[in-house]
Chain A
Amino acid sequence: MWSFIHKLGSPPWFFRFSGNVVKWLLPVTIAVLFVGAFWGLLVAPPDYRQGNSYRIIYIHVPAAVVSLAGYYVMALAGAISLIWRIKMADIAMKAAAPVGAVLTGIALVTGAIWGKPTWGTWWVWDARITSMLILFFLYLGVVALFEAYENKAAAAKACAVLSLVGTVNIPIIYKSVDWWYSLHQPASIKFTGESAIDASMLYPLLLMITAFYGLFALVVMMNMRADLVWHHRQSSWVRQWAGFE
């Protein structure tokens, strides 16, 4: 176990390891994505109230779920980088931030598109949407902070601190927005609970969530690999891999 973690910190080893992971994760993720999308968009029955427009949940919900998990992955990498000073954790954190931000953006946009036919408006200050928007801001803050630092090693450490502060804050933000919303809740807008979802709709949704997790892992890993190649462009293992030696 420990030797595995130790190896994770070694760039050439991680590069080879992640190459193998990508090799089988890529086809599996694409397969699950296609099956989930086909099932959700074509096979699953239409909703009795929303008709076909509900099908956007097969993108909206997975994006929202994974975007929150992504923040924790990023913060965990940040904590590892601060405590054990493993450079690979810096690279993982830097790779995860923009991917998470994009996923949060997708969740917000698909939410708005879903909102128009369902509630007749693009945007409502519902508790969940508001929390998602603030999560988006948190991601943007990390990305902006990283870009602003000249010394990229210091940038990674600064982003690690910021994402840890954000992690402590996320439950507080979610809870405070929830209470705030329940106090101001307008009577006209009511949301359907998630628990009411039928199994025929749920299974493709779970498939899509799995596919999005795979997609997140894939994109982050490929991002890290690109970063590693750039960082170690002068070392022999990269030159060998690229066929220069």
Chain B
Amino acid sequence: MSLLDAKDVAIERGDRSLLRGISLSVEAGELWQLIGPNGVGKSSLIRALAGLARLGVDGDICRSAAALYIGHSSALKRALTPVDNLRCHPACDVTVGDEQIAQALQSVSLAGYESVPVGALSAGQQRRVALARLLLSDARLWFLDEPFTALDAMGCEWLEQQIAEHIQLGGAVLFTSHQQSRFGAQQHNLDLSLYVSA
């Protein structure tokens, strides 16, 4: 059974129609990259598929698994520590213990920053805190909007590894990126420039 089913989705922004006629079905274990030039509507589409945008979205979108979305903004409170931010994350669907959080922070190589307010971390470090959520969620469907921005080579490698593990375990990942075909042959591509409305 597919985790995400979209039929004939159309996206408009304000009065202008951006994309139309998009249908896709994402099965467990699949990896999808949305590609297309700037402004084509990659972010709008991934937000619509994740269930964030509703106005200006037409068509049927059916998610049959819990979803996790990480967008451009980190959703972190600057005044709180990484630990507090992860423990009290607004969209977290499970209870996470202190030990899990410590492990997650270690995995994104932020051990030792547990009690530093997020506002005092660098942009790349904040990005890692946001991405540490990938380890603390039950969601099978990941929607990642430009997840590789602001990450260094090591961070990118870590993220690629997480994505690969997630699809191996029966999850599914949709992401956007400027870089063509990050995962080579194992990924599916959805080229949005084919769906731009005239």
Contact = CB atoms under 8 A, between A and B. Distances in A.
Q: Do A and B come from one complex?
A: yes
A154 interface: yes
A154 B56 CA distance: 9
A132 B147 CA distance: 54
B112 interface: no
B25 to A, nearest CB: 25
Contact of B55 (A150, A157, A231): A157
A153 interface: yes
- Which label, helix, strand, loop or mixed, suits the secondary structure of the B interface? loop
Contacts of B56: 151, 153
Interface residues of B, number: 5
A157 B14 CA distance: 13
B10 to A, nearest CB: 14
Contacts of A151: 13-14, 55-56
A152 B55 contact: no
A161 to B, nearest CB: 13
Contacts of B15: 152, 231
Interface in A138-156: 150-154
Contacts, number: 13
A151 to B, nearest CB: 6
A150 B13 CA distance: 11
Interface string A193-236: 00000000000000000000000000000000000000100000
A157 B13 CA distance: 15
A231 B15 CA distance: 8
B57 to A, nearest CB: 11
B11 to A, nearest CB: 13
Nearest to B56: A153
Contacts of A153: 14, 55-56
Nearest to B14: A151
Nearest to B55: A153
Interface string A172-196: 0000000000000000000000000
Nearest to A234: B15
A171 B55 CA distance: 32
A231 B13 CA distance: 14
Interface string B42-84: 0000000000000110000000000000000000000000000
Interface in B1-34: 13-15
Contacts of B55: 151, 153-154, 157
Contacts of A157: 55
Contacts of A150: 14
A45 to B, nearest CB: 56
A84 to B, nearest CB: 14
A150 B55 CA distance: 13
Contacts of A154: 55
A232 to B, nearest CB: 11
Nearest to A157: B55
Interface string A44-61: 000000000000000000
A74 to B, nearest CB: 20
Contacts of A231: 15
Nearest to A231: B15
7 contacts: A151-B14, A151-B55, A152-B14, A153-B14, A154-B55, A157-B55, A231-B15
Interface of A: 150-154, 157, 231
Nearest 4 A/B pairs, CB to CB: A153-B55, A154-B55, A151-B14, A153-B56
Given A151-B56, A153-B55, 11 more contacts: A150-B14, A151-B13, A151-B14, A151-B55, A152-B14, A152-B15, A153-B14, A153-B56, A154-B55, A157-B55, A231-B15
